[in-house]
């Protein structure tokens, strides 16, 4: 089977735009969670979110830098975030296909959990108030999930596989795993892969709040709201943004002298077959997903130095994941570091798996594991587990495991290994 | 009615993001101003909104240039 490496990284998150800046802020223990801005949150149960900081300047997101203003109304924000993250990742990789054959072997697989929810909400209002003749011809293409991949391919002329994953909060991880397999099987030499989400809107927050899934106890102290594994955690904090990587067949990357960040060595999947939103209580789904990824990687748990947890800061979910990790790692639990970077950026839903994959790769590259913020009083089950409370830790990371679990009982785990 | 032409041109400039100078009366939305088929649908909707008129699909299909739009609106719109 052909080997797949990561040669480009791109991030748009609540910590800002750019993977280097994201990493600096992440390991410095900064939080991107704030009181919600941009729409009225006064009657919403949760009033905090990880929103992408907008404006002009270092690390701020300015859509005009990627899409002419007249075209921005033709796409919802989730597409613009993806275009921006892809722009950084592709530039970072230095890959510019020159021939038709090269273009045909370069594909895109950027998914989203929800897609154009704000646009759909707006479209429904237009329909109800003004009737069908006033629906924009751009309504459908602005909201369709696979249009993120579509726009990226159009902008860059990538004519290979054009695909989009939709697996709720596992989307980003599934996209990177599945795109890697397309390269392994020879359907492509290069894949631009990841996830994107922009559902921080009245309908999005209202919807998750209706499930009682969101944090509501920290509306006055937003930076404290996302606190995975802490006793006072009370739900996840919704976030937005995009993570995109450039994946490349190893020899292809070597031949052109590309910088290699890490190798994608493991990818495991599973289904809970249990409940639409709650994880199976025995953690079996997450356990099998991780076990399958390690098996594919040919690594034992002792070879994993860092686990980037799904860790959404929900009372039930964190506990179940930790139980599954403990069961899989056994005595190797003593030496592994595990943290949830959602403590800093919130839960980016369909983008989470891709953003966290990039943070895991950065941990390998820099020999630093990012902290779990707000971990003041760990739950009892956390005793003896290094959850990297509040402060980043320097340590060699030979290989990292990143977990993503989604509604519907869909689980994906990725394993990245240092490339020597 | 004298400002119909100016109002039409302004809508075209705003929606297609083209320079004002290029929006001549004989300019074709698709051939000269870079519009695609969806842009032209949106343009017609913007004309309807601005002038408070309804442009039926069979009439909209014949609106290919700036002049076509001005002529139709002058003949059919109250505003």
What's the pLDDT tens digit per position in A384-399?
999 999 999 999 999 9
Predicted TM-score (pTM) of the model is 0.96
Q: What is the per-residue pLDDT for A210?
A: 97
Q: How far is CA B68 from CA A399, B50, B71, in A?
A: 65, 16, 5
pLDDT digits (tens, 9 = 90+) for A70-106: 899 999 999 999 999 999 999 999 999 999 999 999 9
Q: Which of A69, A71, A137 sits opposite B41 (nearest CB)?
A: A137
Instruction: Give chain B's contact residues with A (Cβ, < 8 Å).
Output: 14-17, 38, 41-42, 45, 48-49, 54
Closest of A312, A384, A316 to residue A348, by C-alpha = A312
| CA-based nearest distance B31→chain A, Å | 18
Pull the structure tokens for residue A13.
Answer: 């998150």
Distance CA A239, CA A51 (A): 6
Q: What is the per-residue pLDDT for B77?
A: 78
**Percentage of chain A modeled with pLDDT above 70:** 100
Q: Which of A68, A71, A134 sits opposite B45 (nearest CB)?
A: A134
Q: What is the per-residue pLDDT for A64?
A: 96
ipTM over 0.95: no
- Is the pLDDT score of B46 beyond 60? yes
Residues of B in contact with A69 (CB under 8 A): 17
Distance CA A403, CA A393 (A): 20
- Is the pLDDT score of B78 beyond 90? no
Quick check: B15 and A70 CB within 8 A?
yes
- Is the pLDDT score of B79 beyond 60? no
- Is the pLDDT score of B1 beyond 90? no
Q: Which of A70, A137, A141 sits opposite B17 (nearest CB)?
A: A70
A131 near B CB under 8 A: no
Which of the residues of B are catalytic? 36
| Segments of chain A with pLDDT less than 70 | none
Read off the pLDDT of each residue in B62-73 and give the average, rounded to a whole number.
Answer: 96
Among A67, A68, A70, the strongest candidate for a mutation testing the B interface, having the largest count of B CBs within 10 A, is A70
pLDDT range class, residue B2, cuts 50, 70, 90: low
- Encode A176-207: b = buried (16+ Cβ within 10 Å), e = exposed: bbbbbebbbeeebbbbbbbbbbbbbbbbbbbb
Beta strands in A145-280 (DSSP E): 162-163, 190-197, 241-249, 262-271
pLDDT digits (tens, 9 = 90+) for A256-291: 999 999 999 999 999 999 999 999 999 999 999 999
């Amino acid at each position: 089977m052909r080997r797949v490496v990561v040669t480009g990284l791109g991030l748009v998150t609540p910590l800002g735009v750019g993977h280097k800046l994201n990493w600096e802020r992440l390991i410095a223990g900064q939080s991107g969670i704030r009181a919600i801005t941009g729409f009225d949150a006064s009657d919403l149960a949760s009033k905090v979110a990880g929103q992408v900081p907008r404006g002009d300047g270092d690390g701020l997101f300015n859509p005009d830098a990627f899409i002419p203003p007249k075209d921005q109304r033709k796409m919802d924000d989730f597409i613009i975030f993806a275009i921006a993250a892809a722009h950084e990742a592709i530039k970072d990789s230095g890959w510019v296909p020159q021939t038709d054959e090269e273009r045909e072997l370069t594909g895109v697989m950027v998914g989203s959990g929800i897609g154009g929810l704000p646009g759909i909400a707006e479209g429904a209002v237009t329909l109800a108030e003004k009737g069908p003749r006033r629906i924009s011809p751009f309504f459908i293409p602005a909201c369709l999930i696979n249009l993120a991949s579509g726009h990226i391919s159009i902008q860059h002329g990538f004519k290979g596989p054009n695909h989009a994953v939709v697996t709720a909060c596992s989307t980003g991880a599934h996209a990177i795993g599945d795109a890697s397999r397309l390269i392994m099987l020879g359907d492509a030499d290069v894949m631009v892969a990841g996830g994107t989400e922009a559902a921080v809107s009245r309908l999005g927050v209202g919807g998750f709040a209706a499930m009682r899934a969101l944090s509501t106890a920290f509306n006055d102290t937003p930076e404290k709201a996302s606190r995975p594994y802490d006793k006072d955690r009370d739900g996840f904090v919704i976030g937005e943004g995009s993570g995109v990587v450039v994946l490349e067949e190893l020899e292809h990357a070597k031949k052109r002298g590309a910088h290699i960040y890490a190798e994608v060595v493991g990818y495991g999947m599973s289904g809970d077959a249990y409940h639409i939103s709650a994880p199976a209580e025995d953690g079996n789904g997450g356990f099998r997903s991780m076990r399958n990824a390690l098996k594919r990687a040919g690594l034992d748990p002792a070879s994993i130095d860092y686990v980037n947890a799904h860790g959404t800061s929900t009372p039930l979910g964190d506990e179940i994941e930790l139980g599954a990790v403990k069961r899989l790692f056994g005595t190797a639990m003593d030496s592994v570091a595990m943290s949830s970077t959602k403590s800093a950026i919130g839960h980016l839903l369909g983008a989470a798996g891709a953003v966290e994959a990039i943070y895991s790769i950065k941990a390998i590259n820099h020999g630093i594991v990012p902290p779990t913020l707000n971990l003041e009083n760990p739950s009892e089950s956390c005793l003896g587990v290094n959850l990297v409370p509040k402060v980043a830790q320097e340590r060699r990371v030979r290989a990292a495991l990143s977990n993503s679990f989604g509604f519907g009982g869909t689980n994906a785990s990725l394993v990245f290994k240092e490339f020597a | 009615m004298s400002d119909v032409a100016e109002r039409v041109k302004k809508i075209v400039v705003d929606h297609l993001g083209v320079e004002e100078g290029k929006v001549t009366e004989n300019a074709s939305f698709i051939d000269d101003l870079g519009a695609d088929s969806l842009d032209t649908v949106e343009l017609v909707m913007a004309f309807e909104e601005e002038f408070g008129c309804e442009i039926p699909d069979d009439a909209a299909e014949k609106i290919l240039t700036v002049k076509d739009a001005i002529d139709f609106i002058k003949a059919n719109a109250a505003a």
